[in-house]
Amino acid sequence: MRQQPESLTVIDSHAHLQDPRFAEDVEEVIARAIQGGVEMIICIGYDLESSRAAVELTRRHREIRAVVGIHPHDAKTINDRVLAEVWDLARDPRVVAIGETGLDYYRNLSSPDEQRKGFRAQINLAKKLGKPIVIHDRDAHEEVLSIIKQEKAGANGGIMHCYSGRLPLAVELMKQGFMISFAGPLTFSNAKKSVEVAARVPLDRILVETDCPYLTPEPYRGKRNEPLYVWEVAKKLAEIHRKSLQEIAYITAYNTRRVLGL
C-alpha cells in the first residue's frame, strides 16, 4: 500500500520496533513502512535489552538507526555496569543518539531521585560521546527544563519526543538546542492545545514520529501503531501550518537528519 507519490518520503523519528507487540511481524511492518515512503526509522531503546535489539535491527536494515538508553521508568536499574554497556553500544556508528531518557512523574515507576540521577548520567554520557539526546517528559516539564539547562543537555542537539507541553516551554527548549517532535496525539479530536502549540513551532524545529506501538494516530486509533502511520502526523502538521504534505515531509526529514547527523 503506497499512500503517497513515488518521490515523497518521510522519517519516523521515534519508533519501538523491538517492542514485544512487533515480535510476530516486525519484518512485514518494516517492509510496509519502506514501501509506503518511510525512508528511515529511528528505533529507540528503553532498557538494555531493547537498546541491544535496536542496534541489532540496524544490522539487518539500512533504513534503521538506533538510539540507546534507559527510560525513566527503568531508572532504578541504572548503575555503572548498565551505563558502561550503554556507552559500548553507543559507540556503534549506527547509534545516532542517547535515549530515551528524561523524567516521568505520571507513572513514577522509578523514584524521582532515581530518575533525576539516571537522566543526568545519560546527558553526561551523550556529551562525552558527542551525540544528541532524546528526551521523554511526562508531568515533569519544569524539572526537565532545569536539568537540561544545568547540564547543558542540548550541547550536541536533542529531541523532545512526543511534545505535549505549552508554547513557552517549547521556546525554552528550542533555545537550548532542541527539536520538538510531534506524534499521534496531535491528530486526536481533543488536541486543540497541542495544535495551537504546533502551529507556533517554527518549521525548522519540527520532527514527526509515531512512538509505535503506542499513540496510534487517527484514523487508526484502537489499532497497534506502526511507522507507516507517521504520515498521519505529517498530514496533520501540513494542515496546521498550511503547507503541502510534500513540504512537511521534506522539512521534518531534513530536520531529523540535521539533529541526528544522518
Site residues for Ni ion per CB under 5 A: 211
Closer Cβ to Ni ion, 214 or 220, answer by number: 214
Q: Confirm if 217 and 226 have CB atoms less than 8 A apart.
A: no
Q: How far is the CB of 2 from Ni ion (least distance, A)?
A: 27
Within 8 A by CB and 6+ apart from 216, the residues are 184, 222, 223, 224, 225, 229
* Positive or negative torsion for Cα 196, 202, 203, 204: negative
Q: Looking at beta carbons only, is 19 or 232 nearer to Ni ion?
A: 19
Residue nearest Ni ion (C-beta atom): 211
Contact 182, 162 (CB under 8 A): yes
Residue 44 CB, shortest distance to Ni ion, in Å, is 5
Alpha carbon distances (Å) from 108 to 32, 88, 134, 226: 35, 28, 19, 26
Least distance (Å) between residue 5 CB and Ni ion: 29
Cβ 246 to Ni ion, closest distance in Å?
Answer: 27
Q: Which residue, 103 or 245, has its beta carbon nearer to Ni ion?
A: 103
Shorter beta-carbon distance to Ni ion: residue 161 or 205: 161
Let me know how long the chain is: 262
